[in-house]
Amino acid sequence: MPEAPTQPAEEVVDLKDPVLAAFLAWLIPGLGHLYQGRLAKAVLFFVCIMSTFAYGVYLSSDREMGVGRAVYFSWRDNDLRLAYLCQVGVGLSALPAIVQAHRMDNNKKVWWHGFMAPPLLTGLPNIDHRENQNLDQPDLNILNRRLHRFFELGTVFTMIAGLLNILAIYDAFGGPVPIQPKKDEKPAADAKPTS
């Protein structure tokens, strides 16, 4: 009588330190999986998430107004940027926006030709523009007028990249979902047949 085939042994993934892996996965997408030795997932997450983020940055760029205008941090009066809460999910790639916002809020000249800098606030009575060193930066109306729909598309792409990386961070922290073996379902002996 032939033997029944046996199930292959369940593959165990060494998660090492899950908290460190999750932090590394936030810092650079795929880095936490590389730390755990899961090279295929590391490459997959890095390529997919970073290309989505980079494409969103590209869409919201203009030669005259600078690069990556859809990614910016703002916590100023009448300009709360909630999209950044999603965008910061990609980690290190979105952190220049915080540096630029800090420089803008402290009336210091923004760096890198306005890369990820928040737009100027215009039309508000409590803002004095005489001492502002960033008057060469566009306001939100100019960004929308010059970039048209690409400003919003860039925002959406960068938000999606950040949200996808949240899932990758969870995978680095919790590991892969185990596959449950199929149960052999046999009809119960006392069950009545339906007609």
Mean pLDDT confidence for 2-19: 68
70 versus 13: the higher-pLDDT residue is 70
For residue 179, pLDDT over 60 is answered with: yes
Mean pLDDT confidence for 169-187: 77
- Cα torsion through 93, 99, 102, 108, rounded to 10: -140
What are the b/e assignments for 89-119, b being 16+ CB within 10 Å? bbbebbebbebbbebbeeeeebeeebbbbbb
Provide the pLDDT for residue 116.
76
Provide the pLDDT for residue 30.
94
Provide the pLDDT for residue 126.
47
For residue 103, pLDDT over 50 is answered with: yes
For residue 20, pLDDT over 90 is answered with: yes
Beta carbons within 10 angstroms of residue 18's beta carbon: 14
Domain chopping of the chain, boundaries: 18-121+135-174
Mean pLDDT of the chain: 79
Provide the pLDDT for residue 157.
93
Tell me: the pLDDT tens digits for 140-162? Answer: 777 777 778 888 888 899 999 99
Tell me: the pLDDT tens digits for 27-63? Answer: 999 999 999 999 999 999 999 999 999 999 898 887 7
For residue 117, pLDDT over 80 is answered with: no
For the chain, the 3-state helix, strand and coil shares in percent, each to the nearest 5, are 50, 5, 45
